[in-house]
Amino acid sequence: MVKEAIEDWRRKQQDIEVNNRKTKVFQDGAFRRTKWTKLRVGDVVKVEKDEFFPADLVLLSSSYDDAICYVETMNLDGETNLKLKQSLELTSHLQDDASFSGFGAVIRCEDPNANLYSFVGNIEVEEQQQQYPLSPQQLLLRDSKLRNTEYVYGVVVFTGHDTKVMQNATSAPSKRSKIEKKMDGAIYVLMSILVLISVIGSVVFGLATKHDLVDGRMKRWYLRPDNPDNIYDPNNPAVSAALHFFTAMILYGYFIPISLYVSIELVKLLQALFINSDIHMYHEESDTPAHARTSNLNEELGQVYTILTDKTGTLTCNSMEFIKCSIAGTAYGRGITEVERAMAKRNGSPVISDFEIGVEDFHSEGRSAIKGFNFRDERVMDGNWVHQAHSGVIEMFFRLLAICHTCIPEVDEVTGKISYEAESPDEAAFVVAAHELGFTFYQRTQAGVYLHELDPSSGEQVDRFYKVLHVLEFSSARRRMSVIVKDEEGKTFIFSKGADSIMYERLSTSESTYAEATQKHINDYADAGLRTLVLAYRQLEEIEYAKFERKFTAAKNSVSADRDELIDEAADLIERDLILLGATAVEDKLQKGVPDCIDKLAKAGIKIWVLTGDKMETAINIGYACSLLRQGMKQITITLDTPDIIALEKGGDKGAINKASKVSVVQQISEGKKLINASGNESFALIIDGKSLTYALKDDAKAAFLDLAIACGSVICCRSSPKQKALVTRLVKTGTGKVTLAIGDGANDVGMIQEADIGVGISGAEGMQAVMASDVSIAQFRFLERLLLVHGHWCYSRISSMVCYFLYKNITFGVTLFLYESFSTFSGQTLYNDWSMSLYNVLFTSLPVIAMGVFDQDVSARFCLKYPMLYQEGPQNLLFRWSRLLGWMLHGVGSAVIIFFLTIASLKHQAFRKDGEVIDLSILGATAYTCVVWAVNMQMAITVNYFTLIQHICIWSGIFLCTCSS
């Protein structure tokens, strides 16, 4: 309790530290620094670069003229890429502190809720008397950070526990291992036995007392009934029996191994120190060791049945690399992905060595590794693309990569090198690839973008400006992004990129002659675990653009509920008859050793679920990359992105939408179960999106959903909110009744980390929120293999054997006392002296069992990793079943019976004193006591799997000290 109190106090100190941070609040005509705890709804706040937002804010303006800002949300959704936010034009003029002196407005918005991706509200400025709609584009969430923007002004709409991040938080539970809970059951059994034998002894003592008085003479005169302190009273046997019950409870109290709890706490603390100091779980690059933040759950690490993991930053590095592309029906790029490398290794293909030679040649040319760029093909690099047959298409392909994005370039004033801040790692990878291939994006203004382009006619770099007319942003519904630009010659183009399923519907049938070849390349890239996008463009006529401009501007200025639908309709008109350029393929690099780790964990019989906030396509690709999804594995997809549901959503009838969505999800779950039941030995993967998950977790559907998920080999939950992650974790934990482990790296993973039986935090680049909420922290996902298969297996084996042995040695000792009592008509006389009874658990038998709990190894670490199926001892609970516990208890009873009767038989007729006297109680007790200590210590020597010098010292020192004391 003291240890847990200290841990709770430390957590409270961390909370106090966060709440006492200061921010600038507009008060009495000026901005003054105020603690976060004093913020109130309606306060105007100024947040400066690299500061966290103290509450949920509505963005009013920023240091940029167009009132945009860049936000890092890694503490919310685990993403390190920047998100673009923009205020309404209505408030964008509030550029300095003084402008707020006469400013007043009214904001009406939704009630506090846990949905991170939606916000409904409106703002009305006092002078204008007109309402303007607010969207998630204007919402700045608490615990996200302002990046690449000098300052922003915002008004507080939610504070404290009303903020969306706090709405997604769950209270930290008190966790106990399943062995501890079952150990409580064993103690209850022993307590019942103690009460039973005490009752038996008391009844026998009462009956003997009742019949002790014969003809006025007492049979057991030596019990001294004349002593008022004695409970023996032949004239009142009922009272004597009742008082004897309490004597027996104290005397047989050694049946209850009270010291077991103290010994286990000490052992777990030492086990945690070994985990912390394991050099094989030390990450040298970040100087981060493993850290068991609590020692209560060591043995649970050896019983994990299901792992629920985040994706971004946990499985992956969240670092995209441009590795391949298809242009005009020709595939470019000679890189090998991790999925391809793993497949080649299994098939014995020589492609690995060939690739490695290619990489050596690539670096020997003087090229250094470039973040986001792992592309190698001499046909298009170093300007060689101008000699290709489709050089015009290639030029437009690279130009699209350099223009169609929302990145911000940052130029180092000293070195002149350009780096990019992007909303997503994909965009950064595309811009870097364009830069490396001759199309450098180096400046963005409100008007447009500036490029250094390779001119194919002259072979020289030229500067070109493209005026950005409109940006049609990416969304999960659109699954594409477009930019409309005008070049220096006055020509208007639309550049588009998006998912192949969406983009192919919008291609011109007459001018996309290599669509079939490109689709084949896309399929090959997907098989290699790569994320693909289709690139297309077309030139716009002035009349067509003018018509779109009018409709799009009207849609943007609309304040009706269907504003987003109007914008999408306008965009849909212009994003038609596109000319296919090709497709890109980027790789989200997995952390080192992730595929091998997942493979080992799967061989150990552990089920792995991925809970991610990413899109379905992204999660599926990573599933293939990390071997969670395998070739030939059938996919069961549950989604609400169907035409019927989309049509209902456009109608806006929430009741009808909810009813139809629920029916659709239940039907898809039912169909999935039928598919699995009808199949033979085929392997299935379940993939479900966040909307569907909302209905799958309802009380009347979650049981069927869990049955379907358990029947699948892999499960991926996409677009999951932090709350949903926690609810899924709770469902798996309670539904299976097995040990669940949740692992993540961001604040969005805190809920599931706290909800799981064991929470593991990745101490990486995503902040420390997950680590602070976790039970164990590691630096890389691959260390989970050793944490579970080695340390978890050892801790489970050690604690199980330790508890069983403790029960054995205490029962052996206690039963000898009971047997002696039965020979002395349960008079309450002890067989052993007081010192012997006190030192039995403290000195003579405690050290060996502690040493076993710390040092014992049933198999070496090498064999634990080589044969991962050994781990199944834990999930199947082979070492801590009731049959094993009762077996050890009976073994203790048998040992006590043999020792007691053998001691009596050997000394019964021995008159070994010089006066011919036979043994007295002290000799009998000392002999029996010595035999008990020898027996339990020798049993320890037999039980131990791995002898060390410390084990020898502990076992023999206990025997030696007992012999000396006797």
Q: Which residue has the higher pLDDT, 842 or 863?
A: 863
Measured distance CA(892)–CA(269) in Å, rounded:
28
CATH number for the domain harbouring residue 26: 2.70.150.10
How are beta strands 492-498 and 480-486 bridged, if at all? antiparallel
Q: What is the mean pLDDT of residues 105-125?
A: 83
Domain boundary among 167, 188, 204: 167
pLDDT digits (tens, 9 = 90+) for 806-846: 999 999 998 999 898 888 877 777 888 888 888 888 888 88
Q: Which residue has the higher pLDDT, 690 or 863?
A: 863
Which SS3 state, helix, strand or coil, does residue 329 take? coil
pLDDT digits (tens, 9 = 90+) for 486-522: 999 999 999 999 988 889 889 988 777 788 999 999 8
pLDDT at 597 over 50: yes
Measured distance CA(65)–CA(171) in Å, rounded:
42
Question: Binding site annotation covers 614?
Answer: yes
Provide the pLDDT for residue 552: 84
Tell whether 666 is covered by a domain.
yes
How many domains is the chain built from? 3
Write the DSSP symbol of residue 779.
S
Residues 156 and 288 in one domain: no
Provide the pLDDT for residue 447: 77
Burial (CB count within 10 angstroms: exposed 0-12, middle 13-18, buried 19+), residue 361: exposed
pLDDT at 779 over 50: yes
Tell whether 639 is covered by a domain.
yes
Instruction: Classify the phi-psi angles of 737: left when phi > 0, otherwise alpha if psi is within -120 to 50, otherwise beta.
Output: left
Measured distance CA(746)–CA(749) in Å, rounded:
5
Provide the pLDDT for residue 176: 81
Residues 400 and 512 in one domain: yes
H/E stretch holding 755: helix 750-755
Measured distance CA(446)–CA(431) in Å, rounded:
19
Tell whether 532 is covered by a domain.
yes
CA atoms within 13 A on the CB side of 854: 20
pLDDT band at 655 (very low <50, low <70, confident <90, very high): confident
Tell whether 456 is covered by a domain.
yes
Residues 334 and 391 in one domain: yes
- CB contact set of 765 (below 8 Å; sequence gap of 6+): 74, 80, 313, 318, 745
pLDDT at 589 over 80: no
Q: Which residue has the higher pLDDT, 75 or 199?
A: 199
- Do 955 and 941 contact (CB within 8 A), yes or no? yes
Domain boundary among 747, 769, 789: 789
Question: Binding site annotation covers 531?
Answer: yes
pLDDT at 367 over 50: no
Residues 663 and 752 in one domain: yes
Q: What angle do CA 769, 771, 774 make, to 5 degrees?
A: 110
> Quick one: angle between helices 643-651 and 654-678, nearest 10?
170
CATH number for the domain harbouring residue 754: 3.40.50.1000
- Do 153 and 93 contact (CB within 8 A), yes or no? no
Question: Which of 742, 687, 747 shows the shortest CA–CA distance to 717?
Answer: 687
- CB contact set of 582 (below 8 Å; sequence gap of 6+): 325, 326, 327, 328, 329, 393, 397, 518, 534, 535
Question: Binding site annotation covers 748?
Answer: yes
Residues 287 and 411 in one domain: no
Provide the pLDDT for residue 242: 84
Residues 633 and 653 in one domain: yes
Tell whether 206 is covered by a domain.
no
* Residue in the structure block whose two tokens are 């973008």: 449
Residues 310 and 366 in one domain: no
pLDDT at 401 over 90: yes
| C-alpha torsion 541→546→551→552, nearest 10 | 80
Paired strand residues for 638: 688
- Do 324 and 375 contact (CB within 8 A), yes or no? yes
Active site residues: 310
Provide the pLDDT for residue 158: 93
Structure tokens at 649: 């959503």
Domain boundary among 103, 137, 167: 167
Question: Binding site annotation covers 523?
Answer: no
Residues 162 and 310 in one domain: no
Measured distance CA(798)–CA(814) in Å, rounded:
24
Residue 65's domain comprises: 22-167
Q: Which residue has the higher pLDDT, 556 or 669?
A: 669
Q: Which residue has the higher pLDDT, 644 or 300?
A: 300
Lowest mean pLDDT among 468-477, 533-542, 955-964: 468-477
* No. of helices (H) and no. of strands (E), the chain: 31, 34
How are beta strands 22-27 and 131-134 bridged, if at all? unpaired
pLDDT band at 205 (very low <50, low <70, confident <90, very high): confident
Residues 747 and 759 in one domain: yes
Q: Which residue has the higher pLDDT, 340 or 922?
A: 922
pLDDT at 430 over 90: yes
How far is residue 597 from each of residues 227, 391, 592, measured CA to CA in Å? Answer: 73, 44, 9
Question: Binding site annotation covers 345?
Answer: no
Q: Which residue has the higher pLDDT, 171 or 872?
A: 872
Alpha-helical regions (H) of 277-423: 338-347, 351-364, 391-403
Residues 417 and 310 in one domain: no
Tell whether 733 is covered by a domain.
yes
Which SS3 state, helix, strand or coil, does residue 776 take? strand
E-strand spans in 573-667? 579-590, 607-611, 634-638
Q: What is the mean pLDDT of residues 784-803?
A: 95
Provide the pLDDT for residue 4: 64
Residues 612 and 730 in one domain: yes
pLDDT at 947 over 80: yes
Q: What is the mean pLDDT of residues 320-342?
A: 84
Alpha-helical regions (H) of 277-424: 338-347, 351-364, 391-403
pLDDT band at 173 (very low <50, low <70, confident <90, very high): low
Provide the pLDDT for residue 359: 44
Q: Which residue has the higher pLDDT, 754 or 343?
A: 754
Tell whether 86 is covered by a domain.
yes
Provide the pLDDT for residue 768: 65
pTM here is 0.71
Question: Binding site annotation covers 310?
Answer: yes
Question: Binding site annotation covers 75?
Answer: no
Residues 525 and 603 in one domain: no
Tell whether 323 is covered by a domain.
yes
Provide the pLDDT for residue 230: 59
Measured from the Cβ of residue 628, the count of other Cβ atoms closer than 10 Å reads: 27
